[in-house]
A and B are shown apart, each in its own frame.
Chain A
Amino acid sequence: MTAAVFFGCAFIAFGPAFSLFIFTIAKDPLRVIILIAGAFFWLVSLLLSSLVWFIATKATNAQDLTLQKNLLIFGSIFSVILQEVFRFGYYRLLRKANEGLAAISEEDGPPLSVREMAYVAGLGFGIMSGAFSMINTLSDSLGPGTVGMFGDSQYYFITSALMTLALTMLHTFWGVVFFEGCERKRWWVIAVVLCVHLMVFSLSLLNPFYVGSILPVYAIMLLMAVWAFFSSGGSLHNITLLWTCRKSNAETSS
């Protein structure tokens, strides 16, 4: 494994998220804080779900591999559910904080709109999720080794990077859609986001059959992107304005 693999996979997995951070978040201190708090919330949800998984594995026979794999799947499903619960919890926290800020600030209205917070929170979740999935793999890719020596796939690194990218972007879009759904009291949106998240996880169960996992995940990502765009106020009109390079009062978030 070479430096080329390391840099290539690092940029694939984290490039878009990093650019989004640099261009949209780094300048505003409040957004940075919300991003890191979002990462923290994701981390706490992961912690709780790994606790459940750990207890389950310790309570059962470690030699039974199928059972362990099933427990892993169960733990992951629980983790997905818990992540969405924490996303909702974060939404409530941000709403409360926003109301507090709005009440005291001398400007009219809160310093950050709910849409901005939705985007930043989603990106926080995504970055942390991506980092936790990919960082150890990346650091291993710098060291010596042979990929797929025991018959596993040769494409482990690049597919990991691609899946990480998809997950990061998906978390961002889910954040936008989720918060918007909560704002408008459309609770079915939460259920849909949860189902899509579970579907993405189930697709990843097909690995290493990468055609069956990566392509559908990217298709879902594109659909979520479109949904998030329209949900945050975008419209075809805005897109045409963008293409014709005319200034507009687009209210697309971030």
Chain B
Amino acid sequence: MYYFYVISNARKCSITLQRRTVAPEPAAEPPSLDRSAVEREPVDLEEEEELPLKYGAKHVIMLFVPVTLCMVVVVATIKSVSFYTEKNGQQLIYTPFTEDTDTVGERLLNSVLNTIIMISVIVVMTIFLVVLYKYRCYKFIHGWLILSSLMMLFWFSFMYLGEVFKTYNLAMDYPTVAMIIWNFGVVGMICIHWKGPLQLQQAYLIAISALMALVFIKYLPEWSAWVILGAISVYDLVAVLCPKGPLRMLVETAQERNEPIFPALIYSSAMIWMVGMANPARHAEPTNQDTGSSDEEAHRSEGSALARDWVEPETQVSSGMNRSYSTEDDLDEEDRGVKLGLGDFIFYSVLVGKAAATGGDWNTTLACFVAILIGLCLTLLLLAIFKKALPALPISITFGLVFYFSTDNLVRPFMDNLAAHQFYI
């Protein structure tokens, strides 16, 4: 049970938010400048100022929809399948301290210790990945990611299917289940690691994030989960914004090498990719470097590259990174896409799922949902203003946590009383 965590642990929440554009640029421009860079290189200032506004709202919605879908899947599962809310004393190896203690102080201490261990594991994994990326051990990362996604797509979904059948008391035979899981898993691996329709890739990424979030909700103890959520948003902030943060170093390394970073493990809303995005799989270059959990990122990068190939089969790829700009001139502004790391999906869903699991109050769940969406909106607004990679966790998780605790403790009794008397404010 714990084995797969060695592989797929660590922070899946990568750099999270990048703004990329495929704005057409003169071919004379050296390739090191634009596409592969994380930042958007504007063509001219006017266009740049207007474009965030022109495309800001659309891209916010392009992220709202998958985040909402992921949260809906997690909340629906939590409310119906009781397996994910049962605590049977089993905990992850990364949170060894139990919360069945005698005093509140001890429980708090244990949860803080659990958080410290979990965050250290994540930091270590991230740094390990940065080191691997720096020394170009692409094959190792690639293998790690494939193994991880195998685990997610086959084992976790088999468990999930089993629990759903148990909940609804459906009789099922093993050959049918084997066929279902086999097809689901293989199509998922193909979509994520190789070629596939964009929407199917997006669907698989949402499914994987939801599965991962459910596992976290089940195996993280109560208080530890909340402290971990808080700590991980602080870590995200530090890792992305500090000059020596691992994620920032990753971004800068990728920029120096003119490679796109984190193509996998990142949900992308755009159909068409920037120049310099991952090459077709035959180059076997894992254009994704993920800081934390492996598979999704790698898969995403392959997926994204392939999505592009799928969209434009005649693209000429001169070198690994360059691309003829002429095709891009024909692209309209739809190619501008926003990307969000899968770790963000996972932690947003963990927050909303835990709000749904504890107490069963729908008002709290709804409040957390709205808070997270508004946080995401603000993050995207900041992205439009600053135009560089930003952490997507801090604002949303802060809002989510504030709204969870205040709605659960303050608003819930108020609204319950009002509903009991049928007063309408």
User: A-side interface residues toward B, CB under 8 Å?
Assistant: 28-30, 32-33, 36-37, 39-40, 43, 46-47, 49-51, 53-54, 57, 69, 72-73, 75-76, 79-80, 83, 101, 104-106, 128-129, 131-133, 135-137, 139, 156, 159-160, 163-164, 167, 200-201, 204-205, 207-208
Q: Is the CB of A40 within 8 A of B423?
A: no
Are B424 and A33 neighbours in the complex by a CB distance under 8 Å?
A: no
Question: Chain B nearest CB: distance from A124 CB in Å?
Answer: 10
Interface with A: B130-138, B185-193, B407-415, which one? B407-415
Complex Cα distance, B423 from A167, in Å, reads 11
B423 CB, nearest partner CB in chain A, Å: 5
**Cβ of B377 and Cβ of A135 under 8 Å apart?**
no
A36 touches B424 (CB 8 A): no
Contact residues in A for B367 (Cβ distance below 8 Å): 43
**What's the Cα separation between A208 and B421 when bound, in Å?**
8
Interface residues of B (CB under 8 A from A): 49-50, 53-54, 57-58, 60-61, 64, 361-363, 366-367, 370-371, 373-374, 377, 403, 406-407, 409-411, 413-419, 421-425
B373 and A54: CB pair below 8 A? no
Q: Say yes or no: B377 contacts A132, CB within 8 Å.
A: no
Contact status of A136 and B361, CB under 8 A, knowing A29-B60, A43-B403, A54-B413: yes
Indicate if the CB atoms of B362 and A135 lie closer than 8 Å: yes
- Of B374, B406, B413, B421, the residue contacting A207 (CB under 8 A) is B421
Please report whether the interface of chain A is mostly helix, strand, loop or mixed according to DSSP: helix
Given A29-B58, A47-B403, A132-B415, 10 more pairs with CB closer than 8 A: A29-B57, A36-B374, A40-B371, A46-B414, A47-B411, A49-B414, A51-B410, A53-B410, A160-B419, A204-B423
Residues on A with C-beta less than 8 A from B403 are: 43, 47
| Docked-complex contact A46 and B411, CB < 8 angstroms | yes
B54: min CB distance to chain A, Å: 8
Q: In the complex, A201 Cα to B424 Cα: how many Å?
A: 6
Q: How far, in whole Å, are A91 and B42 apart by their CA atoms in the complex?
A: 33
Chain B: CB-nearest residue to A135: B362
Report whether B414 and A53 are in contact in the complex, using a CB–CB cutoff of 8 Å.
Answer: yes
Whether the pair A167, B370 counts as a contact (CB closer than 8 A) is no
Are B377 and A33 interface neighbours, CB within 8 A? yes
Cα distance, A159 to B403, chains bound together (Å): 29
Contact B363 A132 (CB under 8 A): yes
Q: How far is the CA of A32 from the CA of B63 in the complex (A)?
A: 12
A51–B418 touching, CB < 8 Å? no
Question: CB distance B422 to A72 under 8 Å?
Answer: no
Docked complex Cα distance between A105 and B407 (Å)? 38
Q: What are 21 residue pairs bridging A and B, where the CB atoms are less than 8 Å apart in the complex?
A: A36-B373, A39-B370, A40-B370, A46-B411, A49-B414, A72-B414, A72-B421, A72-B423, A75-B414, A80-B425, A131-B366, A132-B411, A133-B415, A133-B419, A135-B363, A163-B422, A167-B424, A200-B424, A204-B423, A207-B422, A208-B422
Assess A201 versus B423: contact at CB under 8 Å? Given A36-B374, A36-B377, A105-B53. yes
The answer for the CA separation of A79 and B415 in the assembled complex, in Å, is 11
Q: Flag if B419 contacts A50 (CB, 8 Å).
A: no
A136 vs B359: C-alpha distance when bound (angstroms): 12
Do A54 and B414 have beta carbons less than 8 Å apart? yes
Specify which chain A residues have a CB less than 8 angstroms from the CB of B415 in the assembled complex: 50, 132-133, 136
- Least distance between A49 CB and chain B CB atoms (Å): 8
Query: Once the chains bind, are A205 and B363 in contact (CB under 8 Å)?
Result: no
Are A205 and B423 in contact (CB-based, < 8 A)?
A: yes
Which residues of A sit under 8 angstroms from B413, Cβ to Cβ? 50, 54, 57
Which residues of B lie under 8 Å from residue A101 when comparing CB positions?
53
In the complex with contacts A51-B406, A132-B415, A33-B61 CB distance below 8 A: yes
Interface centre among A43, A51, A73, A137 (most CB of B within 10 A): A43
